[in-house]
Amino acid sequence: MEKLSFKHISIIYNEDVPESLEVANFTKNSLEKRGINSQTTPSKKFDKESSFVITIGGDGTLLKAARFYAPMDTPIFGINLGRLGFLAQANIDEIDFAIDSLINEKYKIQSRMMLSACEGKILALNDIVIKGDTFSRTSKLFLSINGKVVCDYLADGIIISTPTGSTAYTLSAGGPVISPELESIVIVPICPHTLTSRPLVIPAEEKIEISGRINCSNLKISADGQNTLDINANDSIIIQKSNTKAKLVILEKENNEFYSILRKKLQWGVAPER
């Protein structure tokens, strides 16, 4: 089993969340009580030398850190201050328990598939979203896979998602939930104007190409809802599985496997109360 290195721990906090610095300092003190040094760092300033990263905030903070640290194979552990925190592994009241679990090697490190686009300028753990630059109008977007035309969408946009991202924007847009242990790609149109435009699940090795050309002068492409680039609509956008993988630290604790989290945090399959 791959093990964590506590040599250079960075505790990354979201400076836009008022209590995040306080929680980061609490986490730092908890580590120091156990003889482990660490440093607190705002999410706008990452440390390339980190051997292990703990994020304080919501899933957005963890996703931002994942895109930065994945190329360096640095493991990430999330402490949740957000509403859902689907990727985070501990809440505020579980910090001491989580640190003890990490020290006692009661965890596993999962490699999560990522997507890349625009010659590596875009890297995403959850999803890549493409929309026209005129948000008040739908756009016509053309989809090809492995050089073969698949369809054209009249829609607000297209989501290209990893299994990790299948429980995020993709799910809200009507896409399927996929276990993160699988390697596949989900393609979901956003508010399509055709009833036959359904989500597609394809093998991870497929090469996706999307272009505009109609009803928009530019396309906007974003990674995990954060990084955004403007692309000429006449240019094709190539999206494919990245050679880079994110490393997420998963605690070994009761009801912490994917399906239990799905039920607990998304109320999956829970019958309505009478």
Size of the chain in residues: 274
List all residues 6 or more positions away from 214 whose beta carbon is below 8 Å from its beta carbon.
Answer: 139, 140, 233
List the catalytic residues: 59
**What single letter denotes the amino acid at residue 14?**
N
d(CA 220, CA 46): 26
SS3 category, 95: helix
d(CA 101, CA 56): 17
Query: 163 to each of 180, 227, 274, how far by Cα in Å?
Result: 5, 20, 34
d(CA 229, CA 214): 19
Q: How far is CA 252 from its chain centroid? A: 21
